[in-house]
Structure 1
């Protein structure tokens, strides 16, 4: 899959469209011919393949017949992606406020088996307290953003954290630069509460928090923060980098770059126990 930037079709629809395009081109079939089979025009078929429109299950079944898809696993995988493309969850209600691009993030979090989070500037969003999150969002706002919009952003960030309390939470491994701990975000009181929260959630079996100190020297994470989501079949791993211009998503095998960086970060980071001790020491320092 190509790199995707800015607002656009959901990853779910794009995955399905990409698979359908691969099947059609493998049969050396034009969009016009495929469209005639579904009684759709070529432009509509193009929108399906670009992920602009999610494909209905009946149309998917018809196309699988047209493209001679007989393998049971492939058929099941395509039907799963189609179902996910149409499924609505709590975060879809935020689409008008935050755009389709960002709404991919809570979907990835909800689907992931394992999340790798590297942060060089701020505490990872799923680990933020409400006061810390509000301070961050308020600082990053544009002049035209209203207090109501900031409150909605904060609510969404808190809502995303419900996956931490689910029956089968994803394994989350986070690595922070020590500057994340040293930077007073919001106020000393807000920062103390945030560090105490990190110590509390760091004790959970599904969560690992590690810190990289200045003494570790240069490492491959110098390009900045990123997320890596490892998803169950039929989905590939997805790398995500958030920018002011929108999110950038990269699908496997291009995620190998993130994987190589993560391995170097793991070599550079303190152990979980050493990291917890460092966070506790920093908590005592803040007055």
Structure 2
């Protein structure tokens, strides 16, 4: 299941910000390279994220580019440090797609997560048995150990909901995702119980869009909006058979509007909780 690590999202982010700063100063790659006693090609690799920049080199470039604001410097240097920092998610790097590792990193940085689940339930709210059933059905070529590592990674990601300063999760779930019996009736009973218990957390809101509401604003499928601390803007994450896609700026604005309209189509938090309880009783 794993792949070559390649360019990480965080390296691309920092590289783009350094490129913007250099271009604002009207400096060439060669001039920036000479300042670091490196080649222009090396600076280019830093800016594209092909080679993650070291914190000391990032600090030197910030000096060159005249970045004096303490908050901005700290944010960029912290990000530079994270390029080489080994978080818990990196222990799964040999077993998971790099885009999944990037997602785990983003979730740990996030202040808010707003997700729409159209086909299966949100990953951060899934039980072990539900996750296992999903991976077994979708990845027939995976070995048992690989599946177990994938399950463990998804369960580890869920810790952001119960950490000391938990992320705020708002989840809108299409009734179709609730009705599909992943793993069978017994697994679904446990999964619905998990949803009910998660909804009791002060940092988790769960809403359901019932079939009775008809068409909704996202027939294309599921997505997640990830809210980060400044200076980073909210970004969007979508999954497909071809891998993960991350969207920024204008594309995110469109999905924010879609999410707002989905919320208008959904039941209230209280009505959604009652809906899930009723389903659980029907299956028990």
TM-score range with shorter-chain normalisation? Answer: over 0.9
Q: Which residue pairs with 1:74 in the alignment?
A: 72
CA distance in 2, matches of 1:138, 1:99: 17
Question: Unaligned 5+ residue runs, structure 1?
Answer: 1-5
1:183 equivalent to 2:180? Answer yes
Secondary structure of the residue that 2:157 maps to in structure 1?
helix
Q: Which residue pairs with 1:252 in the alignment?
A: 249
Q: Which residue pairs with 1:168 in the alignment?
A: 165
36, 39, 44: which one pairs with 2:37?
39
Secondary structure of the residue that 1:255 maps to in structure 2?
helix
- TM superposition outliers: structure 1 runs of 4+ over 6 Å: none
Q: Which residue pairs with 1:285 in the alignment?
A: 282
* Root mean square deviation, CA, Å: 1.5
CA distance in 1, matches of 2:271, 2:68: 53
Q: Which residue pairs with 1:261 in the alignment?
A: 258
CA distance in 2, matches of 1:41, 1:96: 32
Alignment of 1:113-262 (within 5 A): 113-141=111-139, 143-262=140-259
260, 264, 268: which one pairs with 1:271?
268
Where relative contact order (Cα < 8 A, 6+ residues apart) is larger, the structure is: 1
CA contact (8 A) 2:129 2:187 kept: yes
Question: Unaligned 5+ residue runs, structure 2?
Answer: none
Q: Deviation digits for residues 152-193 of structure 1, max 9, x if unmatched?
A: 111111111122221111110000001111111101110001
Equivalenced residue count is 281
CA distance in 2, matches of 1:77, 1:254: 24
CA distance in 2, matches of 1:171, 1:70: 32
CA distance in 2, matches of 1:247, 1:150: 19
CA contact (8 A) 2:235 2:247 kept: yes
Secondary structure of the residue that 1:84 maps to in structure 2?
helix
CA distance in 1, matches of 2:33, 2:185: 61
Give 1:268 shift: 0.3
Give 1:206 shift: 0.4
Secondary structure of the residue that 1:163 maps to in structure 2?
helix
CA distance in 1, matches of 2:213, 2:20: 45
CA contact (8 A) 1:8 1:101 kept: no
Give 1:99 shift: 2.8
Q: Which residue pairs with 2:27 in the alignment?
A: 29
CA, structure 1 residues 188+206, in 2 after alignment: closer, same or farther (shift >3 Å)? same
CA contact (8 A) 1:114 1:170 kept: yes
Give 1:71 shift: 2.8
CA contact (8 A) 1:7 1:100 kept: yes
